[in-house]
Amino acid sequence: MKKLSARRRHPLAAVVVLLLALAATGGLYAFVAPTGKAQAEETAQSLAIDEGKKLYAVGCASCHGTGGQGTSDGPSLVGVGAAAVDFQVGTGRMPAATSQGAQAPKKKVVYTQAEIDQLAAYIASLGAGPNIPTEAEYGPEGADIAKGGELFRTNCAQCHNFTGKGGALTHGKYAPALDDVDPKHIYEAMQTGPQNMPSFPDTILSEQNKKDIIAYLDAVNSDDTENPGGLELGGLGPVSEGLFAWVFGLGALIAVAVWVAARTAKAKKS
Amino acid sequence: MSTTETTESRSRGKAPAGERVADWADGRLGIYGLAKANMRKIFPDHWSFMLGEVCLYSFIIIILTGVYLTLFFHPSMNEVEYHGSYVPLQGQLMSEAFSSTLHISFDVRGGLLIRQIHHWAALVFLAGMFVHMMRVFFTGAFRKPREINWLFGFLLFVLGMFTGFTGYSLPDDLLSGTGVRFMEGAILSVPIVGTYLSFFLFGGEFPGGDFVARFYSVHILLLPGIMLGLVVGHLILVVYHKHTQYAGPGKTNKNVIGMPLMPVYMAKAGGFFFLVFGVIAAISAIATINPIWAMGPYRPDQVSTGAQPDWYMGFSEGLIRVMPGWEINFWGHTLVLGVFIPLMIFPLVLVAIAVYPFIESWVTGDKREHHILDRPRNAPTRTAFGVAWMTWYFVLLIGGGNDLWATHFHLSINAITWFVRIAFFVGPVLAFVITKRICLGLQRRDKDKVLHGRESGIIKRLPHGEFIEVHEPLSQEQLHTLTAHEQYKPAEIGPLVDENGVERKVKGSEKLRVKLSKAYYGEESQIPKPTVEEYKEITSGHGHH
Amino acid sequence: MSSQDIPEENLPAEQDEHGAVSVADEKDPFADPGLPPHEHRIQDVDERAAKRSERTVAMLFTVSMLATVGFIAAYVAIPVDKSVYIFPLGHISALNFALGMTLGVSLFCIGAGAVHWARTLMSDVEVAEERHAVQSPPEVKAKVLADFADGAKESALGRRKLIRNTMFGALALFPLSGVVLLRDLGPLPENKLRHTLWSKGKLLVNMNTNEPLRPSDVAVGSLTFAKPEGLEEHDHDFQTEIAKAALMIVRIQPDNIKDKRELEWSHEGIVAYSKICTHVGCPISLYEQQTHHALCPCHQSTFDLSDGARVIFGPAGHALPQLRIGVNDEGYLEALGDFEEPVGPAFWERG
């Protein structure tokens, strides 16, 4: 419960609440007016696709092609699914900067969650792919943190470091740090394999496995994570520890040694 | 005790209790003789002379905390299921070594603190030894009669590295296990016997179930035992040789100026132990070291990025990372040069600095004792060599952390690796040339200071309009200090014919020595220090500004 | 020595008396002027300052005592699992912080007190001590050499060659016993490094779910880790076996596979490579799905998984061994044999 309340202050929490409220209202409406249920849903869906298509034409088509078929500047989006859109656009990686480095970094998000959902609906309509996960899928209920740790060390730590602090890949590419990443986005990344990250589809890493990994990350890499020994020093291992030992350990001791060996102030006759 | 003893002390009447105890000990150990020589022993005051004490004290701290840790640590690789208080590892399979380290960290009150003090002190110990060694090197304190003590110190540094390595491998966590795996791969690369060595060390195939127990006895018994012996020998020699000192008024090669052991240095050095312990304890209270719980238990099929050893092994990590993958197959055998060459350069890097004192004494041919320290600038070639060596070492350290450099400075890991490959050869040469030039520049400045006085910062306008800066003449103390160093003359090849007119054959080693000597002390390598004549000419000619 | 002992007349003004400043020598201006005169500290001349120093030292020792009391109190009072938030350290163990700080303060104050005492109240007169040459005088050396010659002669070691030679022989041989004793440290390598648990018909089991894999489970761009069927985490030799048998499975569009043998040994583009780096044995698995490069996190050896896993960067000496796989009657992925070459780091006998 603590974790849920902590997430209440998350920037996207308001959006999630709004969406849930909308869904609830919509559901209630559908319940009250059973006659038009299927039709209304269909209309809403096709409306979202239309909106998404417009957004796509403006923001994405120049690289990914007018129909999402891909160009030399961007891969095909047919079949990547709504989850990929929600991840890429929801973390600000897309739209990519014009002069892109080795990989598209996490940036400020330019679309609202409603717009992202419309874009996702449009891309999903191009070909079947993973859907945006629900809270039930990535939430903390029923997760085994220890199992998640083992899975994380087997599947993720080689790139993202043992507590998700990130690491280097070839030629300037890198696996980003996982601090403060929305659980939903972690789930989507595992599902869709953004950029150079391999995907971990449900057949390889089951839904429960993904839930466990997210719970583990929440336990070892969040603002509330306990570091019993004190300063975490970046969680990077011996390099930062060595630097700390030299600068603060030996530095302090040399300062003390200077004091011990220095001459005491002399009395000066004025 | 014997009756004579009691009667003796009674017969002495009312001697204080302390004196009676001392008498008792003197009758058996002869302590008065020892105390006569050492109680008022003189130690010079300089902060850089306390770096060795930092090492000594952190060594003692490591032993004290290490003994405590052995009370709780189980050096066993039996697999157990964890059911302690750290939640994210509940139910995980791990070795007893790992689970007992978790127990120390989470369930023993103060256990985490002692673990952290032990590990922080180890890092400070090695860093202290490095800096201490560099102080000795750059001031020429390794010269006769202290060459053996230099070697003792060097051995302590190397053994310290391996004690550290075996120590951080004990918890059997994912990071240290990766390091042990690296060591196994390195051993396998040794031609002919590598595979056998590996099987003997690990009791079979890697990882097996033996290495923690074996490393344990090496870590807590074998290596510290040897180190303790070396430390005692090192200290005895320090006392026996008496400490070196910097040049200055009243300080000669025949004396040592400072404060007596009793009471000043007992208080200062004794107090310094507590200061070192206090600082390390405070660091252990505020900063985590080696959080094995975050790394998880070792499994040979798991790994984390950023897998580095502790800093003192970092240069070997750099060597292995930047080496190209050379491998030669012939007659059904494999020569793994990509691993074996770094494995061979690893001791070479260390030996390069260890043998330096012997090379220098061979070049100078100087058989005298030296107790006055050099200023680094006055031994430009030595200083340049030392800086080149440090450059080498630090370039390799960069190589050892290339992935973290890449992520933190947004660089390509491949580019950093190439940089290190080139800098490995170019860096030391550049550092050598630049350092030598800086040293010579500083020598020139010293010479100017002696001859023309100190720049006072006061600008004076002469009657004809010229502006000059007023130079203040130096005091006699300063003049002496700046001219106290000796300058060697480059060696010459002796006459090519002997006294009978027969042509003498010049040995290759002699030619080499002369060449080196020219490089060390030739015109390009030192600025002749001001002579009395030069000084008198200038001071009498210009008068005082 | 207490500060009260310092006589009144030892004021700085009078210090010239025991100073030895020689005037600049006419003959040698660079001559050693000798030890400069001792100057008094404030504490030496001002009893109030000395008293202040005394109080400071006593205060430091008292703080140390209080800190030790604090240490014991913290040990007793704070539960071992209590967590506190301390800026900027974060959520840390209250006990570790309290014990470390109190211990640090108690030790540091003892040291600081002692040093302050030495610096301000003990004598700071610099004293000279003579050095003596380490080398022994010639007469001592002559005596030792003569004694040694006598001893050597009396032992008759030089004359009775048989004794000398057999003694050296015995001394040289006996350490061999110690070497022989080391033999049982481990078994001989034989060909243990050449074989893994993989053999024909062994199913590829997903590390994560512990279920055998089907081709349809493995999507293009995904990354899967597998172990041989029958190897369980609780097994006694799990660690040793997984150290050789760990497998990394990726799926590449068959058109993108450049190496012919790789394609042959794959199943519809599903390729299985050893996860153990051929450099020094780290589990390599930083798979970049767009470039098909796999990077080792330890030493950055880079392998191209679309081209027979050949080395394209870094210190590894040869390609990752590939496991030949197929599909059995029930539609599961299976191994078609063991690795054809030894996995992991190269060694002398590898060939």
DSSP state of B530: P
- Cβ contacts of A232 on chain C, cutoff 8 Å: 90
pLDDT above 70 (res B542): no
Q: Which DSSP category does C283 fall into?
A: B
Report whether C284 contacts C320 (CB < 8 A).
yes
Q: Is the pLDDT assigned to residue C12 strictly greater than 50?
A: no
Domain identity same for C109 and C209: no
What domain count does chain A have? 2
> Is the distance from CB of B112 to CB of C96 less than 8 angstroms?
yes
DSSP secondary structure letter of residue B474: P
Report pLDDT for A127: 84
Cβ–Cβ under 8 Å, residues C208 and C249: no
Helices (H), C196-259: 238-245
pLDDT at C2: 37
Q: What is the pLDDT of residues A126-153, one digit of tens each?
A: 888 888 999 888 888 889 999 999 999 9
Looking only at the bridges linking them, the beta strands covering A174-175 and A167-168 are antiparallel
> Measured between alpha carbons, how far is B94 from B75 in angstroms, rounded to an integer?
13
Q: What is the mean pLDDT of residues A39-52?
A: 79
Q: Spell out the CATH class of B52-321.
A: mainly alpha
Report chain A residues whose CB lies below 8 A from the CB of C124.
263-264
| C252 neighbors C269 (Cβ within 8 angstroms) | yes
Domain of residue C107 covers 3-120
A167/C83 Cβ within 8 A:
no
SS3 state at C220: coil
Identify the residue with better confidence: B480 or B505. Answer: B480
- Please list every residue in chain B whose beta carbon sits closer than 8 Å to the beta carbon of residue C207: 301
Which SS3 state, helix, strand or coil, does residue B45 take?
Answer: coil
Nearest to B401 by CA among A161, C297, A239: A239
Predicted local confidence at residue A6, as pLDDT = 52
**CA-wise closest residue to C217 among B352, A201, B426:** A201
- Within a domain: A173: yes
User: Any CB–CB contact under 8 A between A2 and chain C?
Assistant: no
Cβ neighbour number for residue A3 with a 10 Å cutoff: 15
Q: Are the CB atoms for A113 and A63 separated by under 8 Å?
A: no
pLDDT (0 to 100) of residue A63:
86
* Of A12-16, C100-104, C218-222, the least confident: A12-16
Amino acid, res. B119: H
Identify the residue whose tokens are 């905390």. B65
Measured distance CA(A104)–CA(A97) in Å, rounded:
7
Summarize pLDDT for C41-93 with one digit per residue, the tens. 999 899 999 999 999 999 999 999 999 999 999 999 999 999 999 988 999 99
Q: Which helix (H) or strand (E) holds B95?
A: strand B93-95
Give the residue-averaged pLDDT of B158-178. 95
Number of domains in chain C: 3
The tokens for C292 are 């098909």
What confidence score (pLDDT) does residue B115 get? Answer: 97
Question: Residue A1: pLDDT above 50?
Answer: no
Phi, psi for B327 (deg, rounded to 5): -150, 130
Q: How would residue C18 be classed by pLDDT, with cut points 50, 70 and 90?
A: very low
Mean pLDDT of B512-540: 86
pLDDT bin (cut points 50, 70, 90) of residue B500 is confident
CA dihedral C108, C114, C119, C124 (to 10 degrees): -150
Cβ neighbors of B21 (< 8 A, separation 6 or more) are: none
If you average pLDDT over every residue of chain B, what do you get? 91
Average confidence (pLDDT) over B54-74: 97
What pLDDT is recorded for position A8?
55
State yes or no: pLDDT of B517 exceeds 80: yes
B 149-178 residues with CB below 8 A of A? 174-175
Average pLDDT over residues A53-68: 87
B509-518 long-range Cβ contacts below 8 angstroms, 24+ apart: B513/B362, B513/B363, B513/B365, B514/B490, B516/B363, B517/B363, B517/B364, B517/B488, B517/B490, B517/B491, B518/B490, B518/B491
- Across chain A, what does the average pLDDT equal? 84
Please tell me the distance from the alpha carbon of residue A7 to that of residue A22, in angstroms, as a whole number: 20
Within a domain: C265: yes
Q: Convert the pLDDT of each residue in B355-389 to its tens digit.
A: 999 999 999 888 899 999 999 999 999 999 999 99
pLDDT at C71: 97
- pLDDT attached to residue A129: 86
Residue B351's pLDDT band (boundaries 50, 70, 90)? very high
Q: For chain C, say whether A230 makes contact (Cβ under 8 Å).
A: yes
Structural domain contains residue C36: yes
CATH code of the domain in which A147 resides:
1.10.760.10
Look up the domain containing A86 and give its range. 33-132
Average pLDDT over residues A99-120: 85
Q: Are residues A94 and A145 in the same domain?
A: no
The confidence band for C8, taking pLDDT boundaries of 50, 70 and 90, is very low
- What does each C-alpha distance from C28 to B527, B528, B530, B533, C24 come to in angstroms? 20, 17, 12, 9, 8
Strands of C302-304's sheet, edge to edge?
A: C286-288, C293-295, C302-304, C310-313
pLDDT at B12 > cutoff 90: no
Identify which of A170, A199, A267 has the shortest CB distance to residue C44. A267
Identify from C223, C248, C303 which residue to disrupt to test chain A contact, counting A C-beta atoms within 10 A and taking the largest count: C223
pLDDT mean over B114-136: 97
- Residue C303 pLDDT class (50, 70, 90 cuts): very high
**C-beta atoms of A230 and B288 within 8 A:** yes
Query: Which residues of chain C lie closer than 8 angstroms to A148, CB-CB?
Result: none
The band of B15, judged by pLDDT with boundaries at 50, 70 and 90, is confident
Residue A27 included in any domain: no
Q: Is residue A11 in a domain?
A: no
A228: chain B residues, CB-CB within 8 Å: 105-106, 112, 288
Is position A124 within any domain? yes
Q: Are residues A124 and A48 in the same domain?
A: yes
Inform me whether the C-beta atom of residue B495 falls under 8 Å from chain A C-beta atoms: no
Same domain (yes/no): A141, A206:
yes
Residue C182 carries which DSSP code? G
B188-234 pLDDT per residue, tens: 999 999 999 999 999 999 999 999 999 999 999 999 999 999 999 99
**Chain A interface mutation, best of B299, B305, B308, B396, highest count of A Cβ atoms under 10 Å:** B305
Average pLDDT for chain C:
89
Give the pair of three-digit tokens for residue B107: 């369930």
What is the pLDDT, as a whole number, of residue B511? 87
% of chain B exceeding 70 in pLDDT: 97
Residue B449: Cβ within 10 Å count = 18
More reliable by pLDDT, B67 or C15: B67
Element (H, E) at B372: strand B372-373
pLDDT above 70 for B161: yes
No. of H helices and E strands in chain C? 8, 14
In chain A, pLDDT over 70 holds for what percent of residues?
83
Whether A190 shows a pLDDT value over 90: the answer reads yes
Residue C35, domain member (yes or no): yes
The percentage of chain B sitting over the pLDDT mark of 90, rounded to a whole number, equals 72
- Could you tell me which of B475, B32, A57 has the C-alpha nearest to residue A49? A57
pLDDT for position A11: 57
Instruction: Identify the residue among B59, B268, B304 best suited for mutation to test binding to A, counting A beta carbons within 10 A and taking the highest.
Output: B304
Q: In this structure, is residue A236 part of a structural domain?
A: no
pLDDT value for A66: 85
Is A60 labeled as ligand-binding? Answer: yes
Residue B55 belongs to what H/E stretch?
A: helix B51-70
Is A96 contained in some domain? yes
Strand duo B372-373 + B245-246: pairing:
parallel
Q: What is the dihedral of CA C173, C174, C179, C182, to 10 degrees?
A: 150
d(CA C43, CA C124): 11
Within this chain, do residues A122 and A161 fall inside the same structural domain, yes or no?
Answer: no
Distance from C-alpha of C343 to C-alpha of C277, rounded to nearest angstrom? 8
Q: Are residues A42 and A123 in the same domain?
A: yes
The per-residue pLDDT for C13 is 37
Find tokens 């994405």 and name the residue: A60
Interchain CB contact of C215 with B (< 8 Å)? no
User: Within 10 Å of residue A153's Cβ, how many Cβ atoms?
Assistant: 23
Residue B1 has a pLDDT of: 40
Model confidence pLDDT, tens digit, residues A19-31: 666 666 655 555 5
Shared domain for A74 and A37, answered yes or no, is yes
Task: Tell me how far apart the terminal alpha carbons of chain C are, to the nearest angstrom.
Answer: 77
pLDDT confidence band for B501 (50 / 70 / 90): confident
Note whether residue A1 is domain-resident.
Answer: no
C 23-52 residues with CB below 8 A of A?
39-46
By percentage, how much of chain C surpasses pLDDT 70? 93
pLDDT tens per residue across span B415-471:
999 999 999 999 999 999 999 999 999 999 999 999 888 888 888 888 888 888 888
pLDDT in the model for residue C17: 34
pLDDT tier, C23 (very low <50, low <70, confident <90, very high otherwise):
very low
Q: Are C9 and C46 in a shared domain?
A: yes
Rounded to whole angstroms, the Cα distance separating C270 from C253 reads 9
Structural domain includes residue C129: no
Please, are residues C110 and C131 in contact by the beta-carbon 8 Å criterion?
no
Which range is least confidently modeled, A206-210, B37-41, C199-203?
B37-41
DSSP string, chain A: -HHHHHHTTSTTHHHHHHHHHHHHHHHHHHHH-GGGHHHHHHHHHHHHHHHHHHHHHHHTHHHH-TTS--BTTB---TT-HHHHHHHHHHTT-SSPPSS--SSPPP----S-HHHHHHHHHHHHHHS--PPPPPHHHHSSTT--HHHHHHHHHHHTHHHHTTTT--EE-GGG-EEPP-TT--HHHHHHHHHH--TTSPB--TTTS-HHHHHHHHHHHHHHSSTT-B-TTSB-GGG--HHHHHHHIIIIIIHHHHHHHHHHHSPPPBP---
Q: What angle do CA B244, B248, B251 make, to 5 degrees?
A: 55
Going by C-beta distance under 8 Å and a sequence separation of 6 or more, which residues neighbour residue C54?
A: C3, C121
Same-domain check for residues A104 and A186:
no
Q: Residue B166, Cα to own-chain centre: how many angstroms?
A: 19
> Is C340 part of any domain?
no
Q: What is each CA distance from B369 to A109, B361, B372, C213, in whole angstroms?
A: 72, 11, 9, 76
Query: Tell me, what amino acid is at B501?
Result: G
A216 and A145 inside one domain: yes
